[in-house]
Structure 1
Amino acid sequence: MNAPVNHPVHELPTDSAPDPVLEAADLRLALPGHARPVLAGVNLTVRSGETVALVGESGSGKSLTARAALGLLPPGAEVSGAVRVTGQDVLALDADRLRALRSTTASMIFQDPRSAMNPLRRIGDFLTETVRGTARADGLPGLLDAVGLPARVLRQYPHELSGGMLQRVMIAAALLPGPRLLLADEPTTALDTVTQAEIIALLARLRAREGCGLLFVTHDLELAAAISDRVYVMYAGRIVETGPAAALFAHPRHPYTRALLDAAPRHDSPPGPLPALPGRPPDLRTAVTGCAFAPRCPRATGLCDREIPAPRAGAACHHAELPS
C-alpha cells in the first residue's frame, strides 16, 4: 500500500503498566477505488483494566479500528501493519482461530442491539450460544443480576424488550465468555439520556469487576471524559492526539480536539448557537498529501499542506505548541 509516512502518536510506556490486551501498530487499510486510505497508520494501545476512548467525527475510522481487532474487515480491503489481541496477530489468524478469538478473548458491544439479534430466537438462546455446555454458562444468572436484568428475559424475544434492556443483553453477551478485551462501538447512541447514563455506569462497574480492557468508541466527548482513563482523538484515519483523559480535555493541544470541545454542548454554555467546526472531513476519493485537517484549521500554514506532522507532546500538529 503506497501511503505517506505516518508518525505514531502514542503514550510513553512505564515499567509498571499492565500488559496490553490490544495493540494496533501502523495499521493501514485501503479500499478499492479510493484515493485516500480509510486507516492511515493507526497506533493504539489498550491495557488490562483500563478504559480507552476513541473519539472523532463520523467517518474518521473509529468503528473500523475497533472491528479490526476482531478481524471484521470489509471485503477487498488491503491491510498492512499489525493488530494484536493478547499478543495474537489478528491479521494472521485463520477462520477457526478468529472464531475462537471472538468467542473467548475479545467481544464487541454494537451500537444497534436489535440488528445483532435474531428476532425469532429467545434472549436465552442468544446469550448462551457461545458458552453452552461450558463452565461460563453457570455464571449467567449472576451476570444478569449484575447488568440489572430479571431472569424472565431469557424466555422473551427481542421485540419484547426496550432499547435499554436490549443493550444490557448485549453487554451480558459480550461479558459472558470472560473476554480480556471489550470493544464498545457507540453503545449508547440510540438510548435516551437517563438510560445512557445507566449503561455508562454499568460498563464502568463491570469493566472494573472483570478486569478486562475496554475500548470505548464514541463521538460524544462528554461520555469519553466520564468513562475513560486515556483518550485517542481520530481524524481522517489517523490518531491526531492522545493522552490521559483529564489532561487532554482540560488542555487540548491539537486544533481539531479544541474545535470538537468548543462545539460540544455544556450545561453552563451561554444561550445561542454553538460554535461550528467549518468544512467537512476529506472524502475518501480525495488524496491527502499533508495534514488532513489543514483545510479546516485556523492555524494552518503552507507547511501543513505539504507535510504530515510528527507528534509533539501527544499531538500530531506542526503548531501544537501555539496557545489554544
Structure 2
Amino acid sequence: MTPTPVPVLQVQDLRLTLPGTARPVLDGVDLTVGAGETVALVGESGSGKSLTSRTALGLLPPGAIASGTVRVEGEDTLTMSAARLRALRTGDVAMVFQDPRAALNPLRRIGDFLTEGLRAAGTKQEAATARAVELLDAVGLDASALGKYPSQVSGGMLQRVMIAAALMGDPSLLLADEPTTALDVVSQAEVIALLTKLRERFGTGLLFVTHDLDLAAAISDRVYVMYAGRIAETAPAETLFAGPRHPYTAALLASTPRPTAQGGRLAAIAGQPPDLRTTIEGCAFAERCPLATGLCRERAPEPLPDPARPGHLAACHHTDRLVAEGTPADA
C-alpha cells in the first residue's frame, strides 16, 4: 500500500491570542497545502489570512499565545528551536510579500539582495550569482537586473524579483501574501501566470492569500474562505465558486463587480466584521447574515461536509436553506 504523502503545510486547530483582545485572533483554523498544489485563503481585511500564513514561518506577533499545530513537511513550527526556524526560512519555506518596495533595501543592488541568503549559508559568490541568473530567467528577467537598484525597475518587475528571491533556496512551500495588490491589472495577470508556471516547473506548494475572489478562482486548486479568524467554508475552487454553501461566501461572490452585470446598485455585505474587543458566542457572521436565527447567535456551527461534493465543508447551521433559496443577491 502506497503511503499518503505528507502535506507541505498542515495547520490543525490553530488558535492565536493577542494581548488586549477578548477572543482569539485565529480560532481553530484547519488548513492543508499539498506538494505542487495551489491553495487560496480569501476573506475581508482583518479576517486573519496573513497571520495564518505567517505562522508557517514562525512569525508570531509580540505577546502572541499560540496553540494547535503548524507543520511544514511534518515539523511543527510552533515548537521549533530558533536555529531550526532559521534553517526553515532559508530553504524550506519562503514568502512573497504584498509590497515589494517595502521588502528591499533601496540602497542595495538587486543582485546583492538575491544572493545574500545563499552566501550567508556558505555558497560561493559565483554559484549564488548563477542561481540568481537562473531564477531571473525563470521569472522573465535577464541578468542585467542584478546590477540595478529597486528604484530603477517597475513594480511588476520588482515583484518578479521578489518571486525569484523566494525560490532561491528551492522551497517546498511558497507563501504569497496578496502579492498583486500594489500592481496594475496587466502586471497582476502576469504575476498570476508566472506563479502558476513556476509551481508546475518546481513542484512547489503555494498558499495564496488574497481578498480578490477572481484571483483565487484563476490560480487555485482549492479555496479556504476565512471570516473573523475562523474557516467558514472550504472546497475545490471550481466547486466553491459554482455553488457556495456558506452565506458569507455567497455574499462575497454577489458583491464582486462583473463586466456583464446589468446596471443598478452593487451588492454589499451590510455591517462590519466583529471587533476583537468583543466576544462571540455563536456564529461570527450572524449579525450580518440574512439567514441568521437564534441558534446562530447561541452556538457556533461546526464545519460539516457536503455528501454530494467531496472535500466541500461549510460551517453554517442553515446550508440547506442557502441551497434551497439560492445565493443572496444582497446580504
TM-score (norm 2): 0.91
The residue type paired with residue 275 of structure 1 is A
Per-residue CA deviations over 1:80-111 (Å, capped at 9, x if unaligned) read 11100011110111211111100100000000
SS in 1 for 2:141: coil
In structure 2, the residue corresponding to 1:100 is in which secondary structure? helix
Give the drift of 1:16: 8.1
Alignment partner for residue 295 of structure 1, among 287, 296, 301?
A: 287
User: Is 1:309 aligned to residue 296 of structure 2?
Assistant: no
Alignment coverage as a number of residue pairs:
310
The residue type paired with residue 110 of structure 1 is F
Q: Is residue 97 of structure 1 aligned with residue 84 of structure 2? A: yes
Partner of 1:48: 35
How far has the Cα of 1:273 moved from its partner?
A: 2.7
Question: Contact 1:29–1:77 at 8 Å: present in 2 too?
Answer: yes
Task: List structure 1 segments (4+ residues) > 3 angstroms apart after TM superposition.
Answer: 15-18, 134-138
Residue 185 of structure 1 deviates from its aligned partner by: 0.2
Give the structure 2 partner of residue 4 of structure 1. none
Partner of 2:244: 252
* 3-state DSSP of counterpart to 1:68: helix
AA matched with 2:114 = L
SS in 2 for 1:131: helix
- Answer yes or no: is 1:153 the counterpart of 2:140: no
State the 1:140 CA deviation.
2.2
**Mapping of residues 100-119 of structure 1, within 5 Å:** 100-119=87-106
Aligned to 1:128: 115
For 1:144-223, list aligned pairs within 5 A: 144-223=136-215
Q: Give the 3-state SS of the residue equivalent to 2:114 in structure 1.
A: helix
- Comparing both chains, which one has the higher relative contact order based on Cα–Cα distances under 8 Å and sequence gaps of 6 or more? 1
8 A contact 2:111–2:129 mirrored in 1: no
d(CA) in 2 for partners of 1:91, 1:248 = 31
Code of the residue aligned with 2:318 in structure 1: it is: H
Partner of 1:8: none
| C-alpha displacement of 1:302 | 0.4
Q: Quick one: distance in 2 between partners of 1:97 and 1:16? A: 26
| Structure 1 stretch displaced more, 261-270 or 195-204 | 261-270
How far apart are 1:19 and its partner, in Å?
A: 2.6
Are the counterparts in 2 of residues 131 and 137 from structure 1 also a CA contact under 8 Å?
no
Letter in 1 for 2:256: A
Q: Which amino acid aligns with 1:217?
A: V
Aligned-partner Cα distance in 1 for 2:130–2:204 = 20
Match of 2:308 in 1: none
**SS at 2:78's partner residue?**
helix
Q: Does 1:57 align with 2:47?
A: no
| Cα separation, 1, equivalents of 2:174 and 2:57 | 11
| Counterpart AA for 1:242 | T
1:272 deviation in Å? Answer: 2.8
Deviation at 1:17, TM superposition (A): 6.1
Contact 2:228/2:274 (8 A) holds in 1? yes
Structure-2 change in CA distance of 1:136 and 1:104 (3 Å): farther
3-state secondary structure, aligned to 1:19 = coil
Q: State the percentage of identical aligned residues.
A: 67
State the TM-score, normalizing by the size of structure 1: 0.93
RMSD of the TM alignment (CA)?
Answer: 1.3
228-237 or 149-158: bigger deviation: 149-158
Superposed displacement of residue 149, structure 1 = 1.1
Q: Deviations over 1:183-212 (max 9, x none)?
A: 000000010001100000000000110101
Cα contact 2:115–2:128 (8 A) shared by 1:
no
The one-letter amino acid paired with 1:166 is L
Q: Equivalents in 1 of 2:45, 2:134: separation in Å? A: 36
Distance 1:227 1:140 in 2: 25
Secondary structure, in 3 states, of the residue corresponding to 1:152? helix
Equivalent residue number for residue 11 of structure 1: none
Query: 2:15 aligns to what?
Result: 28
SS at match of 2:117: coil
Residue segments in structure 1 that go unaligned for 5+ positions in a row: 1-14
